[in-house]
A = this chain, B = another copy of it.
Amino acid sequence: MRGLYIGRFQPFHLGHKAVLKKILEEVNEVVVVMGSAQDSHTPQNPFTAGERLDMIYGALRDLRPRSYVIPLQDVDRNAIWVSHVVSMAPRFDLVYSNNPLTEDLFIEAGIQVRKPPMYRRDLYSGTIIRNLMLQGGDWRSLVPEEVAAVIDSIGGVKRLIHIARDDLK
């Protein structure tokens, strides 16, 4: 059994990793689809697909034999989005998602959707982490250390602060 797990991973955090570990108690393998691959350098999507891949490859090193990661560009048409995912992703048996639209689209396409195991969503969230970066807070404790290393190496916090200034105007 292979599951599919979709996220933007801006950035990949400990909550994502915990959920993936729990998913791998239910299925043999998981395909991690990194969505909105074309977006970067915005307050909501600061990191490029390539940078996010480096974060995830680092963070999932121990899960690698059972996980596959692919970047996916958006298509901006809900009615064809599922067949876009199916054509770009390796074969999968079911989808893990909490997002109502994602659920709806896969169910309408006849694909099984399961709620992913929850893991402290009050604490681990991309929005919270990006806000901590903007405010000089402790975002490092919320991400795998390999993710922090990538963010440091690309000057990610400085980039986010810089870009957010533009957005405020």
Contact = CB atoms under 8 A, between A and B. Distances in A.
A100 B40 contact: no
Q: How many copies does the complex hold?
A: 6
A112 interface: no
Q: Could you say which of A78, A89, A90, A165 has the most chain B C-beta atoms within 10 Å of its C-beta?
A: A90
Interface residues of A, number: 45
Chain A interface helix/strand/loop/mixed: helix
27 contacts: A38-B76, A39-B78, A40-B77, A40-B87, A41-B79, A41-B101, A41-B104, A42-B78, A48-B88, A49-B87, A50-B86, A50-B88, A50-B89, A50-B91, A53-B89, A54-B90, A54-B91, A64-B64, A73-B73, A79-B83, A80-B87, A82-B83, A83-B83, A100-B162, A101-B162, A104-B159, A104-B162
Given A53-B89, A64-B64, A79 B163 contact: no
A89 to B, nearest CB: 5
Interface of A: 37-42, 48-51, 53-54, 57, 64-65, 68, 70-71, 73, 75-80, 82-84, 86-91, 99-101, 103-105, 159, 162-163, 165-166
Given A48-B87, A49-B87, A79-B40, A166 B54 contact: no
A159 B37 CA distance: 27
